[in-house]
Amino acid sequence: MELKHYRGKVRRFYLSHFKQAYVQKQLERREGSCKMCGACCQLGYRCIYLTDLNTCKIHDRNDWIRPKQCMLFPIDEQDLLEMNNPKCGYFFKIKKPPLSVDKGSL
């Protein structure tokens, strides 16, 4: 197991519980949908809710059983890089820089 996976788990827990504004901004940029590949459920350790077919037993539950950081995964691009799984159905829109005004045209 790689240390980065455990750091990522702590990071996602912190963000999902204490930095909701940041998470909301990131989720507005996130597109796609979960393809139920199970890769995110094996970061650091294998989740107890992951079946032998790599599907989640509680994926569709939005109650106290399913951890908040799990419901929000991936929060940002860093999560996708950590997972390193090209099969993931999520991606993030590129941040567009603000429009600049050409001072020579004024």
Q: What is the pLDDT of residue 101?
A: 57
pLDDT for the residue numbered 7: 92
pLDDT digits (tens, 9 = 90+) for 71-96: 999 999 999 998 887 788 999 988 66
Per-residue pLDDT, 28? 95
Q: At what angle do helices 20-29 and 3-18 cross, to 10 degrees?
A: 110
**Residues 24-69: tens digit of each pLDDT:** 999 999 999 998 888 899 988 899 999 998 888 998 887 888 899 9
User: H-helix or E-strand containing 31?
Assistant: strand 30-32
- Pick from 95, 80, 16: which is nearest to 43 by CA? 80
Q: Assess whether pLDDT exceeds 60 at residue 103.
A: no
